[in-house]
Amino acid sequence: MRHGRNLTSLGAGVLGMDPSGERRATFIDEFHTSVYETLDDALAGGGLDGVAVCSPTRFHVEQCVPALEAGLPVLLEKPVSKTLTEAEYLAGAMIRTGTPLLLGYTWRWWPPLSRVQGLLAQNFVGAIRYVEFTMSANLEDWPPGEPLTEFFMSSAELGGGALLDESHWVDLMLWFFGMPESLSARVEKISNLNITSDDNVDMMINFASGLRANLHLDLYGRPHRKSIRFVGEGGTILWSEAPNQIAVFLEAGKNWSEEIFTCERNDMFMGVAREYLDVLDGAAPHTCTIDDGLDVMSLLEAARQSHNTDRQVELG
């Protein structure tokens, strides 16, 4: 629904597809447009310029490929797929069809994180030696009016869970620093939540430069927290979602310097929508591409392998 609202606010017309009759009715009530039960029906109906795939992760590849084969540029919600093999198949379909795909790791469009990237590029706090990524949010607080057991995030089969759905933070790590050389990880279900997906991920990540990173994701925490701490030889940068700010510490005995932002969460989704409309007009995706998604999936596969073997995994 969010992508539909944002695209229509930018002047685009939208159609819908959903196997749920209740959700189709909701879509019709809001957008007063056609809604289809299957993707095949929607594609057969014609009149499309592109396809936004916002379904549970399990269905991403099987829904993207027909759209690409029809020559329709795709906006794909993250992650690319449940497995690296599936993601590689999708990338192959893009090459075969020559049809573009924009990947929605939306935090790349978040202005404060773009500001952080700029500070890192300026070497503002010196060489970064340690980074800590934290995403903690109780899944029971998420479903919009549906039981937890019916929410796709609670289902391993549908591709829910902390590792896949919160891979935003893996993507951001790659965006800031590139591919690491090794990692150790635990990917587990440790809470009492009534779910089949993992709800706790911890990674220790090593870069060839000497940078060390810790990444923690959980689906049971309260209060909700999203933050990244960058520790450099000349100071520290702390980004947080709430409060919406960047804090910088440079000198002992001095206070943190804080930069407050007023952007709202939907602003990053609007950034995605604007870039997608540019793709429909012929521009190449640039903020987040299928190659970025493949890199994320490589790390997620390595994390699973590390957990299953209880060993550190080297990355190519």
- Can the peptide bond before residue 243 be classed as cis, meaning omega within 30 degrees of 0? yes
In CATH, 107-256+296-314 is 3.30.360.10: yes
* pLDDT for position 36: 94
pTM beyond 0.75: the answer is yes
- Look at residue 251 in the predicted model and tell me its pLDDT: 87
In sequence order, what are the residues at sequence separation of 6 or more whose Cβ sits closer than 8 angstroms to the Cβ of residue 13?
33
Enumerate the CATH 3.40.50.720 domain ranges in the chain, comma separated.
2-105+270-289
3-class secondary structure, 96: helix
pLDDT number for residue 316: 76
From-to residues of CATH 3.30.360.10 in the chain: 107-256+296-314
Architecture of the domain defined by 2-105+270-289: 3-Layer(aba) Sandwich (3.40)
Strand ordering across the sheet containing 212-218: 257-260, 245-249, 235-240, 225-232, 128-136, 212-218, 200-206, 182-188, 313-314
pLDDT of residue 147: 84
Q: At what angle do helices 84-97 and 60-69 cross, to 10 degrees?
A: 10
Q: For Cα atoms 193, 2, 242, give the angle at the middle one, nearest 5 degrees.
A: 60
What local confidence, expressed as pLDDT, does residue 144 receive?
A: 67
Which residue positions in the chain have pLDDT lower than 50? none
